[in-house]
Amino acid sequence: MSILTKTQINFRRLTPNTAEICSLRTLVNSSLKIALLIGIITLACSTRLQAQADLQEIVRFDLPGNVSWASIADTGGDINGDGRPDLVFGYWGDDDPNTAIHIYHSIPDSNAVPDQILPVPAYMGGGFGRSIAYAGDLNGDGIDDLVVGIKYYGLIHQGAIAIYWGGETLSEQPDVFIDGEPFGDTQSWDLYFGQNLITHCDVNGDGINDLLVYAEGPQWEQWGNVYVFLGGMPFSTTPALQIRGSQIYEHLGWQMESGDINADGYDDIILCSSRFIDSGTNQELDFELKIYAGGINLSNIPVYDAHVASTASGSGIIR
Ligand SMILES: [Ca+2]
Ligand SMILES: [Ca+2]
Ligand SMILES: [Ca+2]
Ligand SMILES: [Ca+2]
């Protein structure tokens, strides 16, 4: 599905009742024209989405009473196939980590009421909805699909993802469920498979969107892993490619994006790593940018690898 404009928004809590959208970026025409921080939007103490003076308020969303966190990502998807982009929020609260997914089939004029509330299946475990993606058609039926990450799924918190095929009403049970347990190489303790997701890409150029999944773990090592699942029907739950960080604490893929940056018809995979270096006398965060070329034959060897920045002495720990 051709994607012209996408916006990714992440929420970060500021006070017990206030959250801030801490990053908002726009990807235009699948290129790397990323505009950082278009504006600041607050999720105010009334737990309503409000815009500050530099942004025009379009609509307010009344969140459930126990909700203090919300996530929205990868916007621009049309998961009911009516030709209009939809809004999907993952909500959760401190007392109830498993809240629900709220789906709005259009941007309402006021007092938004969700068209569907997707409940959390009992077996899902914690973290359902903290990452979502819905701007890609993964089974090739012409309707965008919804992917939900479950970061803390499983007794060892290996994580998992749930995929719901798009349509007028989504099934309350996932159409595809992928447990992260097999993907941790030697072990999957605290792998956090599904911590971040992207579906607005077509890395093998077959016209069907593909799925990128980030996992931070395993365990304390935090190499960072990105798994590429190729779209199609039936949907294969075996990744076509795994990209793994080359050293501990690298967090390779903690920020990821995709777009056809060399204009060869295949979306490429852009990963940022964030590695904490402690020499004893100095501490700093080291950032690298790695690009993996899309194509029929995918490779976990980057075509571009560059050190981009360092922050010294703990001046800016981003995570
Ligand atoms: Ca729609
Ligand atoms: Ca679909
Ligand atoms: Ca594809
Ligand atoms: Ca390319």
C-alpha 189/C-alpha 123 separation (Å) is 18
- Least confident among 7-11, 63-67, 211-215: 7-11
Average pLDDT over residues 110-134: 82
What is the 231 CA–ligand 2 centroid distance (Å)? 9
CB count in 10 Å sphere of residue 97: 17
- Least confident among 215-219, 268-272, 288-292, 299-303: 215-219
Percent of the chain residues topping a pLDDT of 90: 46
Q: Over 80: is that where the pLDDT of 274 sits?
A: yes
Q: Over 80: is that where the pLDDT of 273 sits?
A: yes
pLDDT band at 109 (very low <50, low <70, confident <90, very high): low
Residue 182 region by backbone torsions, left for phi larger than 0, else alpha for psi between -120 and 50, else beta: alpha
CB 229 within 8 A of CB 214: no
Tell me what pLDDT residue 99 has: 67
pLDDT band at 234 (very low <50, low <70, confident <90, very high): very high
pLDDT band at 76 (very low <50, low <70, confident <90, very high): confident
Pick 49 or 205 by higher pLDDT: 205
pLDDT band at 246 (very low <50, low <70, confident <90, very high): confident
Tell me what pLDDT residue 51 has: 42
pLDDT band at 111 (very low <50, low <70, confident <90, very high): low
Residue 315 region by backbone torsions, left for phi larger than 0, else alpha for psi between -120 and 50, else beta: alpha
Q: Over 90: is that where the pLDDT of 277 sits?
A: no
Q: Averaging pLDDT over each range in 34-38, 70-74, 200-204, which range is the top one?
A: 200-204
Average pLDDT over residues 162-184: 94
Tell me what pLDDT residue 269 has: 98
Average pLDDT over residues 181-204: 92
Q: Which residues surround ligand 1, an ion (CB under 5 A)?
A: 78, 80, 82, 84, 86, 105
Q: Which residues surround ligand 2, an ion (CB under 5 A)?
A: 137, 139, 141, 143, 145, 166
33-62 pLDDT, tens digit each: 222 222 222 232 233 344 445 667 667 776
Q: Read off the DSSP letter of residue 257.
A: E
pLDDT band at 177 (very low <50, low <70, confident <90, very high): very high
Closest CA to 155 of 180, 128, 186, 118: 180
- How many alpha carbons fall within 13 Å on the CB side of residue 250? 20
C-alpha 75/C-alpha 285 separation (Å) is 30
Query: What is this structure's pTM?
Result: 0.79
What is the 190 CA–ligand 1 centroid distance (Å)? 35
For the chain, the average pLDDT equals: 77
CB count in 10 Å sphere of residue 219: 17
Tell me what pLDDT residue 64 has: 66
Q: Over 50: is that where the pLDDT of 317 sits?
A: no
Which ligand minimizes its atom distance to the CA of 143?
Answer: 2
Which ligand minimizes its atom distance to the CA of 81?
Answer: 1
Return the structure tokens found at 100: 């629900």
Average pLDDT over residues 21-32: 28
What is the 295 CA–ligand 1 centroid distance (Å)? 30
Q: Which residues pair with 62 in a beta bridge?
A: 48
Pick 77 or 317 by higher pLDDT: 77
Q: Over 70: is that where the pLDDT of 266 sits?
A: yes
What is the 258 CA–ligand 4 centroid distance (Å)? 9
Closest CA to 101 of 49, 150, 48: 150
